[in-house]
Structure 1
Amino acid sequence: MNRSTLLECDTDMGVPDSDKLFRFVVHGILLNAIGAGGLLGNALSVLVLSRPQMRSSINCLLVGLAACDTVLIFTSVLLFGLTAIYPYTGALRYYYYHICPHLTPYAYPLANVAQTMSVYLTLIVTVERWVAVCHPFRAKALCTSSRARWYVLGTAIFAFAYNAPKFFEAEVVPEGDPEAGEVIYCVQADMNFRTDKYVIVYIHWMYLVVMYIVPFSALAALNACIVRQVHRAQAERARLSRVQRRELGLATMLLVVVLVFFLCNLLPLVTNAFEVFLGDAFDNLDPLVKTTNLLVTINSSVNFVIYVIFGEKFKRVFLKIFCAGRVRPRGLRDSPEHTRDDSFASCGERMSLRLARNGTLRRSEMRSTRINRPRRAASPAPTVYYPAPTPSTDVSLASSDAPPSAVRWNGNSRLHF
């Protein structure tokens, strides 16, 4: 049986070759390639962010965000990436007509759940940074790891509750004659469940409000406050403490995350508005829908790259895990922040106080990188150097009046179908 006589679903009939080619390039090539990189990047993000030295409320939220993005990428590849191959190339026919139709009633709602969680976890991350940057005295009580876990759990409950109706929207219908030798399965909307009122209220308006208007408005307002505070802090950066500078750097990194979120979800917002206000005329904008699915996948795949570029601590821990300490970020080789925060080692420098000839204490710096120095076996206390007695000085008095040993001090979008 040649391809022209194979059974097809009604939705596959009459599709122009140009649309098949566009879908193959956007979904079959780009979405699959970016999704594969995103799955690897999110796995590395979870590995780094879950390290003991990275434990914090914000990193707990970022782990939850990476997990949601992983589910979103995986379901997008199953629903869009792999299914774009057969209509143009003829490969993966069994997956297209037998496996994917049975996955769709479950993968489609899970994709929407993951997308909802991703949007609102991004909002919660922004709220957490707003508290830490604009209200630092309240951050200790509000921004804790235990609270962050509850935020992730609450977001998951909300996402499943909001997207619960989507589990009943699709049904699988067999096509063909078993006696003729071939049966295919097609996915279609359950018209008894997806009534016109349901589509207008839930699919269009509630989606526009819950997934775009509310989170986008809150993100815009909160990030405006954060940007203003960061701009003020930049002017006084020299007077900031190390902890304040780290919070400032973390806020900048998350601002980039939110900016990418806005850019990747702007076109999905526009297409959803077109769908609400244009109605049936929106069917002519199908290439925009395919592009929005790609942008949503990109948004879920690039956070690891942002963490590596803008997150200094993330970069240090990542290199420590995979380079075993042989490679360090340039410019951070001997900084106290590098050693104290992340590896729980001592500070980068040791300070020793020695007795000077004039009876005062002199501070001398000794680099911590001087290793393999011979140790004295006589006493664990550091050696104290006394002034040599002059010929006219009583040696016994000089030794009896000598002070005790010197002190040494050692200082961390929417998925369209």
Structure 2
Amino acid sequence: MEPAEYQPIDLKLTGVGVTIITIVGVMGNTLSAIVLYQPKMRSSVTLLLLGLTFCDTTFLITLFVLQGLRALVFDYFLGIRFAEKFFGFLTSNFFIVSSFALTGSYYFTMATTLDRYVAVWWPLKARHLCTWSRARYVAAVVVLISITYPTFSNLYIVESPESLENRTRLILSKCGEDFHVPKDEASKFIDASFESDFLSWPYLIIMMLFPFTTLVVFNSLIYVKVRQANKTRKNMTSQENTDISYAVICVMITVLFLSCNSALITMAVLMRFYNCKFQQWKSVLISVDTFLVSVNSSSNFIIYCTMGTRFRRQLKRVLSHWSVFSRCFPIEPGLGGNISMKTTRKTRSSVA
């Protein structure tokens, strides 16, 4: 497919689509972070979901700067040459931040899955393992992985000719920041380096095989446990109901994650194992993958509102305190401490 034929598809998916999804997604993720940070939502899974929300928001912003803004304004209206010159500086700086956020999004999703697996399969051990303090250590490890792997994967050995000494010196340089790569050509250099990294075994293992296999296996086990728990829901305690609710949210997040990254997996398999470069459809697949990844990073708020009863309750409370939404979301007189007082009196009278 020629660039002229590809340009309208890039404008619709990457330009208009990613821009709209970024605006809606950042608003939804901001509300999610506010609700998840509430004291009554404090738990290990909410801390991990907070980390996931932060990574998704950062990735959406960088994706809009690198792809959405380019396709919407520069490539279509101002021309590709001007876009390459202007985005040389942005690409060399935002690309590594985007890699940080994408890696963090992958591994925070996996950490949330492991947390819910322990909670539903070993509820007694989960009281000591799935705590806020322990979740902070898990989040720190995920952040460390998210920073370490992209940093080293974006370092390259380049040749530095020294004319005076008549020799060539090898320098370890960051992607797009070497003097051999002008700023107006940094985006081309990163596209070429990304394709080589995309086919490398470390990328396939760390960013695809290991996270995706872990998510499929453990979420399948969580789904089995949720099916068993639904048969005995009447005999479950409130804490068990909460754990099951978060487990369902985790499964839904994983299903969305796997669905939106299916294009990326397909492209990696075709390029690596079948030596298929598909140059004719490469640009279209990249636009589709960019659009789907942005949908994945912006849709968790919908899952929280749909599947999380406690999240909806806390969201209503948060919105009711804002004067703009106070009329739409009034505080019910029976919520809060009044409920606990009434239930306490009832239990005391029943015991007496």
SS for the counterpart of 1:284 is coil
**Shift of residue 249, structure 1, vs aligned partner:** 1.6
Rg comparison, structure with higher value: 1
Partner secondary structure for residue 188 of structure 2: strand
Are the aligned partners of 1:17 and 1:88 in contact in 2 as well (CA < 8 Å)? no
Distance 1:91 1:283, change over 3 A: closer
Matching of residue 142 in structure 1 with residue 139 in structure 2: no
1:347 aligns with 2:335: no
TM value normalised by structure 1: 0.70
Deviation at 1:89, TM superposition (A): 2.5
Match of 2:117 among 121, 126, 130: 130
| From 285, 288, 293, the counterpart of 2:285 | 288
* Equivalent residue, structure 2, for 1:188: 188
5 Å-filtered alignment, 1:126-275, equals 126-164=113-151, 165-166=153-154, 168-171=174-177, 173-174=181-182, 187-189=187-189, 199=196, 203-275=199-271
2:310 maps to 1:313:
yes
Cα–Cα, structure 1 residues 272 and 49, in superposed 2: closer, same or farther, change >3 Å? Answer: same
| 8 Å CA contact retained: 1:26, 1:294 | yes
Q: Give aligned-pair identity as a percent.
A: 27
Size of the aligned set, in residue pairs, is 323
Of 21-30 and 285-294, the range deviating more from structure 2: 285-294
8 Å CA contact 1:131, 1:139 repeated in 2: yes
Q: Distance in 2 between matches of 1:350 and 1:137?
A: 26
* Matching of residues 391-406 of structure 1 within 5 Å: none
Query: RMSD between aligned alpha carbons?
Result: 3.2
Aligned match for 1:52, one of 14, 39, 43: 39
Deviation of the 1:174 alpha carbon: 4.9
Match of 1:21 in 2: 8
- Between 1 and 2, higher relative CO (CA 8 Å, sep ≥ 6) is seen in 2
CA contact (8 A) 1:171 1:187 kept: no
Report if the CA contact (8 A) 2:100-2:146 is conserved: yes
Measured at CA, do residues 32 and 93 of structure 1 come closer, stay the same or move farther in structure 2, by a change above 3 Å? Answer: farther
**C-alpha displacement of 1:55:** 1.0
**Does the CA-based 8 Å contact 2:100-2:147 persist in structure 1?**
yes
2:75 maps to which of 77, 84, 87: 87
| SS of match in other structure, 1:170 | coil
Residue range with higher mean Cα deviation, 261-270 or 317-326? 317-326
Q: Is the 8 A contact 2:199 2:272 kept in 1?
A: no
- Which consecutive residues of structure 2, in runs of 5 or more, have no partner in the other structure? 156-173
User: In 2 relative to 1, CA 218–16 (structure 1 residues): closer, same or farther, beyond 3 Å?
Assistant: closer
CA distance in 2, matches of 1:22, 1:220: 32
CA 1:282–1:323 in structure 2 vs 1: closer, same or farther (change >3 Å)?
same
2:115 counterpart of 1:118: no
Displacement of 1:208 in angstroms is 1.4
Q: The residue matched to 1:36 in structure 2 has which SS?
A: helix
Normalised TM-score (structure 2): 0.82
Comparing both structures, which one devotes a greater share of its residues to helix? 2
Q: Deviations over 1:179-210 (max 9, x none)?
A: xxxxx66533289x969xx937x753221111
Once the two structures are superposed, what CA deviation does each residue of 1:94-145 show, in whole Å capped at 9, x if it has no partner?
Answer: 6x24442101112112111211111111011000000000010110111111
8 Å contact 1:23–1:290 — kept in the other structure? yes
Is contact 2:13–2:291 with CA below 8 Å preserved after alignment? yes
Equivalent position amino acid for 1:210 in 2: I
CA contact (8 A) 2:199 2:268 kept: no
Tell me how far apart the structure 2 counterparts of residues 285 and 169 of structure 1 sit (CA, whole Å).
26
